[in-house]
Amino acid sequence: KMPDFNQLSTPQLQQIKVDLFDRYNEIKSRGIALDITRGKPCPEQLDLSIEMLYIINSRNYLTADAVDCRNYGGLDGIPETKELFAQYLEVTPEEIIIGGNSSLNMMHDAFMRAMVKGITEDSPPWGKLPQVKFLCPSPGYDRHFFICDHLDIEMITVNMNDTGPDMDQVEALVADDEGVKGIWCVPRYSNPTGVVYSDEVVERLAAMKTKTNDFRIFWDNAYAVHHLDDKPARLKNILATCKQAGNPERVFIFGSTSKITFAGSGVDMMAGSAENMAMTKKQMAFQTIGPDKLNQLRHVTFFKNVAGIEDHMKKHADILKPKFEAVQNALDKDLAGKNIAEWSRPRGGYFVSIDTMEGCAAAVVQMAAEAGVKLTPAGSTFPYLRDPFDRNIRIAPSFPPLEEIETAIQLVAICIQLVSIEKIMTM
């Protein structure tokens, strides 16, 4: 069993430090340049969808209803793609819009419309209010926070628990402050913690009393089918739950196939009540004549149905699982029992989240960078890039080859130990 570092004497720690520095310098001397900063699919994953590059061709460009996908039209997507992804997000075709290639783009646009025109016909534009605030369960997705920051929306950090955001905090904040207009959620395999929202959290989000009546849950279901386990985690249907609670308009759902087919060349989707979708389409009509229907046709032709998506995701899991296991093995081997770090064991999604001792994350990231391993900047998983405890590190193991992941995580584990020893010795 590994010794708890906090229980060791200074000479013992000194000796461990010397050995760790030897390992650190050995890896550094290899002159590596590894990058585990972003959740990008690796080339083998992209190859799984390569057929998509030739299934749309001079003989195949019409929808089932003989709409010519080469031409303008169809603001909210072609019927068969709407049908497929409505099932995927567990809504009806009237409750979904299939757009372009990036759900982040759709979320950003939803914010912009709210800022300039308001969420409903009769609610004020957020931009006209003295201060709009958003709840940000953290650690969370940095690009969500960047949208808020960019639009001067005040971010309120809410703790992430093992079953989703701390709902006591959320309920208290929304009950009391008219300026709190929404919350960011990545409900199944959250970025970066891998958390899956429990039924109770979904129910409380749907039913809670909000002071303002244009409150919206931004339900970013980016990793809905991105399971690593054979037994996928369940997630309660948020739109159905909102309807049952008498708040059918409360949620905007988002998703994309960026990590199913091609990142950056997938299809994005937004879903919600028929009323919300009607309002959204009305505003979108000023923005575009219609989306890339050829790409939408390409996606339905390739998958055919939801079972087709699920089969395809098993192939992704086969590629990703060994990489996630390599991360766990390296962390277990080097850190378990030492009482200096905790980390997630995600059952899906794209990330592993590590919590070091307080005040260590930035130093670990810096030290890893000096030996050639680039990590997401410390603080990125919190609003304003400020981790209040300087503790969280996000690992994205999907892109690099397995051997590189192994080296990178070994180095991260060495840096965590060195920085922790330094901290313990000065405590």
CB of 350 to ligand PMP, least distance (A): 6
Find, among 284, 272, 293, 343, the residue nearest to 61 by Cα.
293
Helix, strand, or coil (residue 221):
coil
Find, among 60, 63, 85, 88, the residue nearest to 74 by Cα.
63
Helix 402-425 and helix 306-335, axial crossing angle in degrees, nearest 10: 40
Buried b (16+ CB within 10 A) or exposed e, 128-152: eeeebbbbbbbbbbbebbebbeebe
* Rounded Cα gap, residues 41 and 260, in angstroms: 9
370 exposure class (CB count in 10 Å sphere: 0-12, 13-18, 19+):
exposed
Amino acid letter, residue 216:
R
Tell me the site size for ligand PMP, rule CB under 6 A.
Answer: 12
What is the contact mask toward ligand PMP in residues 87 to 126, using x (rule: CB under 6 A)?
Answer: ---------------xxx----------------------
CB of 102 to ligand PMP, least distance (A): 3
Q: Please tell me whether residue 141 binds ligand PMP under the rule CB under 6 A.
A: yes
Nearer to ligand PMP, 299 or 423 (CB): 299
What is the contact mask toward ligand PMP in residues 169 to 188, using x (rule: CB under 6 A)?
Answer: -----------------x--
76, 220, 249, 404: which one binds ligand PMP (CB under 6 A): 220
The kind and range of the H/E element at 58 are: none
Nearer to ligand PMP, 101 or 210 (CB): 101
Q: Please tell me whether residue 258 binds ligand PMP under the rule CB under 6 A.
A: yes
Q: Please tell me whether residue 262 binds ligand PMP under the rule CB under 6 A.
A: no
13, 24, 27, 39: which one binds ligand PMP (CB under 6 A): 39
Nearer to ligand PMP, 190 or 420 (CB): 190
Nearer to ligand PMP, 45 or 210 (CB): 45
Buried b (16+ CB within 10 A) or exposed e, 283-308: bbeeeeebbbbebbbbbbebbeebee
Which residues sit at the interface with ligand PMP, rule CB under 6 A? 39, 102-104, 141, 186, 191, 220, 222, 256, 258, 268
